[in-house]
Amino acid sequence: MFRHNPVLVQEVLQALRLQASQRYVDGTIGGGGHAEAMLKSSASIGWLYGFDRDGAAVEACQARLAEYSDRCEIRRANFDEMGEWVEAGTCAGVLLDLGVSSPQLDQAERGFSFQQDGPLDMRMDQRQELTAARLLRELEPGELANIFWEYGGESDSRRIAQAIAMDRATRPLERTRQLAELMERISPRGGRKTHPATKVFQALRLAVNDEMGSVRRGLEAALRALQPGGRLAVITFHSLEDRVVKEFGRRLERDYEPAPGMDVPELRRPRPAQLKWVTRKAIAPGAAELRANPRSRSAQLRVLEKL
Ligand SMILES: C[S@@+](CC[C@H](N)C(=O)[O-])C[C@H]1O[C@@H](n2cnc3c(N)ncnc32)[C@H](O)[C@@H]1O
């Protein structure tokens, strides 16, 4: 059973101002919760393109949205490739609900969670060759440390990478439980609320799936897909993703290109602004949603409009 509780649904619908006769993109269709709400709100002729890298999500979604099959098209693809199917300048709204879905986290064999034992896999797209186990096996300690620091903000990254290198010299490191236990040994909790493996697991997941690269390219692809006045709604779950969205918006709301290196006003090259913020501040779930769906607690919605 593929179950994911979509977050901030009403806020997304409001942000995208859905209308019949317009085209929309859900770049992260997952369990299809947002997509279904978007299709209902754009009845009876609004069109939806849906994308997901995860084959199980695409299959589950195609079944869930069967009654809308005459006005939606769901593909297994990275959202950064949406331009291959969606004609530039034709969409009224794009949604990117980033990160992983509940079924990905909850199914031990997908290897995303340190709370259950499974293979160190972490691939969103299981056709891909690179897995977390392979990164842990093949990268030099310095490269692993960089990943833990850059994608996990793990301040103890060098020591952790060294401990992994020593551990893998004695046995294959292939299971989530092995990595979680290694982290518990080398960084005991000491009163912290979060598990010591949290940052390392997040970092490996982002690296395996090149999530930050996909988001950067995906935002550009979304902007190309939008028509003037079209809206881009992005839900993020951690500060790294959110920073990329903020930087994207800040860069394209400016009506000039700064000089390389330093932003000196006299050296700015004028160009038209391409976007504006619909709301300056990120939209967060309200108390009722937080109570009903604790996984929504880190969600933040940002909304931009193409000029
Ligand atoms: C938070 S869930 C989305 C849930 C969805 N909005 C719903 O209502 O069920 C994120 C989904 O995005 C997918 N995903 C993440 N990055 C992606 C990318 N770059 N391209 C396509 N799909 C991606 C994941 O596989 C996952 O299914």
Nearest atom, ligand 1, residue 6 CA: 8
CA distance 279 to 302: 7
How far does residue 234's CA lie from ligand 1's centre (Å)? 11
Phi, psi of 158 (to 5 degrees): -70, -45
How far does residue 160's CA lie from ligand 1's centre (Å)? 30
Nearest atom, ligand 1, residue 77 CA: 21
47: amino acid identity, one letter: W
CA dihedral for 291, 296, 298, 301, sign (positive or negative)? negative
Taking the C-alpha atoms of 169, 174, 133 and 197 in order, what is their torsion angle to the nearest 10 degrees?
-90
Cβ proximity of 299 and 284 under 8 Å:
yes
CA distance 156 to 187: 9
Phi, psi of 241 (to 5 degrees): -65, -45
Q: What is the DSSP letter of 61?
A: H
Ligand 1 near 118 CB (within 6 A): no
pLDDT by position in tens, the chain (length 307): 678 899 999 999 999 999 999 999 999 999 999 999 999 999 999 999 999 999 999 999 999 999 999 999 999 999 999 999 999 999 999 999 999 999 999 999 999 999 999 999 999 999 999 999 999 999 999 999 999 999 999 999 999 999 999 999 999 999 999 999 999 999 877 778 899 999 999 999 999 999 999 999 999 999 999 999 999 999 999 999 999 999 999 999 999 999 988 889 999 999 999 999 999 899 999 999 999 999 999 999 999 999 9
